[in-house]
Amino acid sequence: MVVNNKVDSLSYDVEAPPAQVPTTPAVVSAPPTPRGEAPAMTTTAAVELHKVSVPERRSTAKALRQRLAEVFFPDDPLHQFKNQSSARRLVLALQYFFPIFHWGSDYSLRLLRSDVGISYAKLANLPPIIGLYSSFVPPLIYSLLGSSRDLAVGPVSIASLVMGSMLRQAVSPDQEPILYLQLAFTSTFFAGVFQASLGFLRLGFIVDFLSKATLTGFMGGAAIIVSLQQLKGLLGIVHFTSQMGFVQVMHSVFKHHDEWAWQTILMGVAFLAVLLTTRHISARNPKLFWVSAAAPLTSVIISTIISFVSKAHGISVIGDLPKGLNPPSANMLTFSGSYVGLALNTGIMTGILSLTEGIAVGRTFASINNYQVDGNKEMMAIGVMNMAGSCASCYVTTGSFSRSAVNYSAGCKTAVSNIVMASAVLVTLLFLMPLFHYTPNVILSAIIITAVIGLIDVRGAARLWKVDKLDFLACMAAFLGVLLVSVQMGLAIAVGISLFKILLQVTRPNMVVKGVVPGTASYRSMAQYREAMRVPSFLVVGVESAIYFANSMYLGERIMRFLREEDERAAKCNQCPVRCIILDMSAVAAIDTSGLDALAELKKVLEKRNIELVLANPVGSVTERLYNSVVGKTFGSDRVFFSVAEAVAAAPHKTQP
């Protein structure tokens, strides 16, 4: 049997020349033996032992500074200011905080040609005009502060849905429209403050607690709830439930079947079929992206003409929409009263979701076009955008994947595309609003269903099942939580499962028994490499996680279980029991005092059984803490080895029965 073993080259800093140990025997490969049996050992070659180096000693202040820099400034944003004149630093600062100064100086007519290439307000139970307002001011602000060249901002379905569902449970948008608007604008302000604070304090890693799996389930369930909510407009129902659960919505649909309007159903189904067909065409042929991009506006125009000609018999229309620019709404922000807590919670929820979507979309297109997007700067840009928007009759906005995809496909190169979009909305607000009087509400429902149906990622869920069953369980829990309970509960389940998975990985780290791969000095997991062989009287255990207070007890318990299983196997095969346990720490990135104490305690327990515990290949930070503690003195330098192979080669004379 020929085994191809590829080993990456590693370099080590050695403080002193290695000591030669010519009399120390080395373990070499033996003929393959049946799995589970110990291989034969030969002693043919000397092994050179290497000293495990301790990193350069650092002061407490320096160590703390370096650690904080890694946590909050991993991208080293101040590097560009080094060795620069005061004038140049001012220019760089302007370019850093206002990216438009960076790309604006190189802007050309060619780029302008590239960049010139109804809203989700109904989801949030807001008047349609609020959606247009939210597509005017936020894009202008983002074009000044945003670092993404491709991101197109505006209202998005998920944030709109969450805001609508959370606020609607406490305040009816039909019975108390003014209070509902106040809470929507206040929630948007809180969302902006939360987002900008995360960016300013460089705490962007917080949004990463929403895993891809839980977001897949959450968005799939939310998409179904959104689609079911649109049955009100698609069927022409006047009285509809304010609840968001699947059961309650379907009960309301059939309870009010006498309100169904055949004219509305006919128009809705027809345009829904057209929109879904154009979406399918564009998905099959990306060059025809403009087909699905133009379909919503075309549908609005055609349906409006039909409604006008037929005088809207049996079809509900939008009605009069006010002309003019965004009215100020700063006076509608409320920071006192019984609903402030609701507005704060809604703002944080929608802020997290919109940040997650916006940054993910921005990074996706940045990777396609080979440039970087600063996540913390994006958070500040989106946060300032929402704070300003809340004072200009806008609700939560962020980067939209569908709009950004249209921008990318149309060849847009800079954030000027947002200015172009805002200009188009400006013209609409000033001159075209009367044209939307006869626009049927059913067409808005059809557009929303078409937009959100793409959030149901069945293939993504299938991939989760294939790759990681726990991720699939998290996905389905979030999906069912949204579908059967509420959007808020679904989001809470999604976050809870994500945190639980992190805690599970921290408290129960992966540990493996390792064996030597024939023909090499490399020790690998015996569960992964079936050709790996045990070394008699040795138990090699690999720890694939940091050792903290949360998992230090588990570490000892799991090693003792490995020891019991190995002794039982050796007794059954009439072989030597374990005399030395080698802990491979190459994957242990960090260790705290509880972890060090756990190692010391484990060493004492094993010594009572005449079993030696040695450590192999600790990384720099672990070595530093080990040698700076009493535990390090307990082990001594003769029990800490450069590699597992050297530990095996040096230990046999200590482990003879």
DSSP 96-165: HH-THHHHHTT--HHHHHHH----SGGGGT--HHHHHHTTTHHHHHHHHH---SS-EEE--HHHHHHHHH
Q: Is the pLDDT at 449 greater than 70, yes or no?
A: yes
Alpha-carbon distance of 349 to 304, in angstroms, equals 36
Q: By percentage, how much of the chain surpasses pLDDT 70?
A: 79
Closest CA to 138 of 123, 117, 159: 159
Backbone angles phi, psi at 522, to 5 degrees: -100, 135
CA angle 600, 602, 606 (to 5 degrees): 120
Q: Span 574-602, mean pLDDT?
A: 90
Residue type present at position 491: L
Interhelix angle 262-284/289-309, rounded to 10 degrees, is 160
Q: What is the pLDDT of residues 334-386, one digit of tens each?
A: 998 889 999 999 999 899 888 888 887 787 777 677 777 777 888 899 999 99
Closest CA to 386 of 42, 73, 155, 620: 155
CA distances from 439 to 314, 429, 531 (A): 13, 15, 70
In the chain, list all ranges with CATH 3.30.750.24.
Answer: 510-654
More confident residue, 201 or 62: 201
Answer whether 299's CB lies under 8 Å from 305's CB. Answer: no
Residue 312, pLDDT score: 60
3-class DSSP string for 497-509: HHHHHHHHHHHCC
Q: Is the pLDDT at 498 greater than 70, yes or no?
A: yes
Tokens 């705490």 sit on residue: 203
Residue 188, pLDDT score: 96
Backbone angles phi, psi at 59, to 5 degrees: -70, 160
Q: What is the pLDDT of residues 92-141, one digit of tens each?
A: 777 666 666 555 555 444 444 444 445 467 667 788 889 889 889 998 99
Range among 56-65, 250-259, 569-578 with highest mean pLDDT value: 569-578
Tokens 């990306």 sit on residue: 286
Q: Span 434-455, mean pLDDT?
A: 82
Residues sharing a CB contact under 8 Å with residue 641, sequence separation 6 or more, in sequence order: 49, 52, 582, 614, 615, 616, 617, 647, 650
Q: Is the pLDDT at 164 greater than 70, yes or no?
A: yes
Residue 71, pLDDT score: 62
- List the beta bridge partners of residue 640: 615
Q: What is the pLDDT of residues 274-311, one digit of tens each?
A: 988 988 888 788 777 778 778 888 888 898 888 888 87
- Which H or E run includes 197? helix 177-200
Read off the tokens for 77. 């944003």
Lowest mean pLDDT among 226-235, 382-391, 393-402, 587-596: 226-235
Residue 114, pLDDT score: 41
CA distances from 179 to 126, 329, 394 (A): 12, 13, 15
Q: Is the pLDDT at 191 greater than 90, yes or no?
A: yes
Residues sharing a CB contact under 8 Å with residue 228, sequence separation 6 or more, in sequence order: 246, 249, 250, 253
CA distances from 295 to 118, 203, 269, 433, 502 (A): 12, 40, 15, 20, 43
Q: Is the pLDDT at 648 greater than 80, yes or no?
A: yes
- Which H or E run includes 511? strand 511-516
Q: What is the pLDDT of residues 390-430, one digit of tens each?
A: 999 999 999 877 677 666 665 666 667 788 888 888 888 88
Lowest mean pLDDT among 250-264, 381-395, 583-597: 250-264
Q: Give the chain's length.
A: 657
pTM of the predicted model as reported, rounded to 2 decimal places = 0.65
SS3 187: helix
Closest CA to 132 of 418, 427, 332, 429: 429
Alpha-carbon distance of 251 to 256, in angstroms, equals 9
- How is the beta sheet containing 612-616 ordered, strand by strand? 523-525, 511-516, 538-543, 580-584, 612-616, 640-641
Residue 68, pLDDT score: 67
Answer whether 407's CB lies under 8 Å from 152's CB. Answer: yes
Residue 539, pLDDT score: 93
Residue 239, pLDDT score: 76
At CB < 8 A and 24+ separation, what contacts does 346-349 make? Answer: 346/162, 346/163, 346/166, 346/167, 346/183, 346/187, 346/190, 346/191, 347/186, 347/187, 347/188, 347/189, 347/190, 347/191, 347/192, 347/193, 347/194, 348/190, 348/191, 348/194, 349/162, 349/166, 349/488, 349/491
Q: What is the pLDDT of residues 104-116, one digit of tens each?
A: 555 444 444 444 4
Residue 410, pLDDT score: 59
Cβ count near 117 (within 10 Å): 16
Alpha-carbon distance of 279 to 451, in angstroms, equals 9
Lowest mean pLDDT among 201-215, 254-268, 321-335: 201-215
The per-residue DSSP string of 247-272 comes to HHHHHHHHHTGGG--HHHHHHHHHHH
Backbone angles phi, psi at 171, to 5 degrees: -135, 130
Read off the tokens for 231. 């049955």
CA distances from 4 to 7, 41, 520, 579, 625 (A): 10, 22, 10, 31, 37
Residue 624, pLDDT score: 85
Residue 414, pLDDT score: 67
Q: Is the pLDDT at 14 greater than 70, yes or no?
A: no
Residue 25, pLDDT score: 40
Cβ count near 106 (within 10 Å): 8
Q: Is the pLDDT at 42 greater than 60, yes or no?
A: no
Q: State the chain's mean pLDDT as an integer.
A: 79
What class has domain 510-654?
A: alpha beta
If you ran DSSP here, which 8-state letter would residue 236 be given? T
